[in-house]
């Protein structure tokens, strides 16, 4: 029987010449591509954040490569990055055997990369993709998703509760002061402006206390009550005002991450519709590369579109010719901005699919299906009655946009045999409200969406941003931010976007 021969195995064998780490990494390994790409970029703005003097600092390019490569490997924690710098040959090669600890890595990520500096790196990456013909920047497929903040979900502050409690407190304090004034026979003053209750309370309590002094009441239950009310109301009112300042236009915020707003998330493990603190992340994609991103507090997408499109223009100095997005973005204000800016919006509105159905098209009672005489400005109802313009009105949306609406009325519907089918209201004649401007935009949108290009974009949209979000969240496990505040969260998402683009770039080059 032949003897079994094993290869030599000696763990403590020492080499005559130690190998360089680079020799152990293949020429086509992703880490080399990441390193080569980041070597080409100008990072003088990041370097400028370092102050001269003191001890030497780790090189910002090395830290940038480590952080970007960590995100590419689904490593999002500073402590894990520190561990990999000791254990993983690719990280050791990237850092050239430097060992920054997690505090240095976290400080670099949240402080040196904020203030738009990481955005610049992201822009350079997309410009590189553009130079290589992988993206044209002529079209943007836009979508948003909500990503949970690191804040605890039970740390909410609701605007409604704050306003209610503040009003209750003001009423209570006014009651106490009025009762004291009545008892001491002090004339009630009405000179205080409603919006400055604290000033009112201070002046009124001072008057009461000085009256008590003049009457020789230096102690007692009533005096203590006035003194306590004055001091307690000040601290409470200050607290409510601080909450309202932080809330701004929002309806809620989290005490542990004041920039995070409570919103409904798609991932609802308890399936109870509970709101969680988070951010609305918007992205543009083209060929599944992320070409722009933004982080917003607004839970719905409609209000984010205009500032988001402006950010694209600021980033590249030009705007995409075509914009593709779902009906969550379709509004008169957004259409006006896109058409006005020379863009071609393939953006549905909420009734688009319903309008395509036969049931809708064949319903003669809908204002859109009635005959409209543009010259004389009247509609003709299914019974042939003219619905004349009664009046025009303006409506302001939550986003501050003013729409003009025209209201048309029939003359008399009381004896119409079609009344039951025509309208439900109790009024004796039908009234319809029409937004001509929005209708004109919608007609153009319908034409675009049903054109050959429109059908192509509509079929591509679900596999563009939605697939990218799915990939990032479910394949790469990025479901929650680790940093707090909009600025730091933007850095985190920027790293996720750079990592996504580089991963895809490497796959294209392979």
Contact footprint for ligand SF4 (CB under 6 A): 381-383, 385, 410, 413, 416, 418-419, 422, 430
The β-bridge partners of 137 are none
In this structure, are residues 344 and 321 in contact, taking their beta carbons and an 8 Å threshold?
yes
Query: Using alpha carbons only, what angle is made at residue 268 by residues 266 and 74, rounded to the nearest 5 degrees?
Result: 70
Nearer to ligand SF4, 295 or 413 (CB): 413
Determine how many CB atoms are found less than 10 A away from the CB of residue 182: 10
Sheet architecture: strand order including 371-373: 371-373, 378-380, 386-396, 402-409, 431-434
| Cβ contacts of 246 within 8 Å, gap of 6 or more | 157, 253, 258
In angstroms, the CA 496 to CA 209 distance is 62
* DSSP designation for 133: T
Helix (H) or strand (E) holding 391: strand 386-396
Half-sphere exposure of 3 (CA within 13 A, CB side): 3
Nearer to ligand SF4, 115 or 367 (CB): 367
In this structure, are residues 348 and 445 in contact, taking their beta carbons and an 8 Å threshold?
yes
In this structure, are residues 109 and 78 in contact, taking their beta carbons and an 8 Å threshold?
yes
The β-bridge partners of 290 are 285
Nearer to ligand SF4, 150 or 413 (CB): 413
Nearer to ligand SF4, 128 or 383 (CB): 383
Nearer to ligand SF4, 225 or 383 (CB): 383
CB of 432 to ligand SF4, least distance (A): 8
CB of 428 to ligand SF4, least distance (A): 9
Q: Which of 128, 29, 26, 118 is nearest to 501 (CA)?
A: 128
Nearer to ligand SF4, 341 or 382 (CB): 382
CB of 414 to ligand SF4, least distance (A): 9
CB of 473 to ligand SF4, least distance (A): 50
Nearer to ligand SF4, 162 or 387 (CB): 387
CB of 367 to ligand SF4, least distance (A): 10
CB of 430 to ligand SF4, least distance (A): 4
CB of 298 to ligand SF4, least distance (A): 39
In angstroms, the CA 135 to CA 129 distance is 6
Nearer to ligand SF4, 241 or 433 (CB): 433
In angstroms, the CA 319 to CA 139 distance is 9
Nearer to ligand SF4, 390 or 448 (CB): 390
Helix (H) or strand (E) holding 158: strand 156-158
CB of 383 to ligand SF4, least distance (A): 4
CB of 410 to ligand SF4, least distance (A): 4
In angstroms, the CA 175 to CA 29 distance is 75
CB of 366 to ligand SF4, least distance (A): 11
Report the phi/psi class of residue 380: left, alpha or beta, with left for phi > 0 and alpha for psi in -120 to 50: beta
Counting every residue written for the chain, the total comes to: 510
């Amino acid at each position: 029987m032949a003897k079994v021969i094993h290869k030599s195995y000696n763990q403590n064998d020492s080499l005559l010449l130690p190998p360089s780490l680079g020799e152990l990494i293949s020429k086509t390994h992703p880490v080399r591509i990441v390193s080569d790409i980041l070597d080409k970029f100008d990072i003088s703005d990041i370097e400028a954040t370092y102050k001269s003097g003191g001890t030497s600092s780790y090189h910002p390019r090395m830290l940038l490569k480590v952080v970007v490569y960590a995100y590419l490997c689904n490593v999002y924690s500073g402590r894990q990055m520190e561990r990999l710098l000791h254990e993983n040959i690719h990280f050791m090669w990237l850092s050239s055997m430097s060992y920054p600890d997690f505090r240095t890595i976290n400080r670099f990520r949240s402080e040196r990369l904020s203030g738009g500096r990481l955005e610049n790196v992201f822009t350079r990456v997309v410009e590189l993709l553009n130079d290589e013909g992988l993206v044209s920047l002529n079209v943007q497929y836009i979508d948003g998703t909500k990503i949970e903040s690191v804040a605890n979900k039970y740390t909410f502050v609701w605007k409604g509760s704050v306003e209610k409690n503040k009003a209750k407190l003001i009423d209570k304090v006014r009651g106490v002061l009025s009762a004291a004034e009545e008892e001491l026979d002090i004339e009630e003053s009405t000179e205080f402006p409603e919006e400055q209750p604290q000033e009112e309370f201070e002046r009124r309590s001072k008057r009461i206390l000085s009256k008590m002094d003049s009457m020789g009441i230096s102690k007692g239950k009533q005096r203590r009550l006035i003194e306590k009310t004055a001091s307690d109301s000040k601290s409470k009112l200050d607290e409510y005002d601080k909450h309202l300042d932080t809330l701004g236009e929002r309806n809620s915020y989290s005490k542990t991450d004041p920039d995070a707003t409570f919103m409904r998330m798609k991932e609802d493990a308890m399936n109870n519709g509970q709101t969680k603190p988070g951010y609305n992340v918007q992205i543009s994609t083209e060929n599944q590369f992320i070409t722009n991103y933004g982080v917003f507090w607004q839970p719905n997408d409609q209000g984010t579109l205009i500032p988001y499109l402006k950010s694209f223009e600021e980033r590249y100095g030009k705007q995409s010719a075509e914009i593709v997005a779902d009906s969550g973005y379709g509004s008169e204000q957004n259409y006006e901005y896109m058409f006005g800016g020379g863009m071609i919006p393939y953006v549905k509105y909420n009734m688009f699919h319903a309008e395509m159905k036969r049931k809708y098209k064949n319903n003669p009672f809908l204002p859109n299906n009635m005959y409209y005489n543009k010259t004389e400005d009247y509609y003709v109802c299914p019974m042939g009655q003219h619905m004349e313009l009664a009046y025009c009105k303006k409506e302001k949306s939550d986003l501050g946009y003013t729409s003009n609406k025209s209201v048309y009325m029939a003359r008399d519907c009381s004896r119409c045999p079609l009344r039951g089918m025509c309208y439900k209201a109790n009024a004796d004649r039908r009234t319809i409200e029409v937004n001509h401007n929005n209708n004109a935009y919608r007609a153009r949108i319908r034409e675009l969406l049903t054109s050959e290009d429109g059908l192509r974009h509509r079929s591509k949209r679900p596999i563009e941003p939605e697939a990218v979000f799915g990939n990032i969240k479910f394949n790469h496990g990025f479901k929650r931010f680790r940093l707090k505040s909009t600025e730091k969260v933007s850095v985190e998402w920027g790293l996720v976007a750079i990592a996504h683009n580089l991963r895809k770039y490497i796959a294209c080059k392979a």
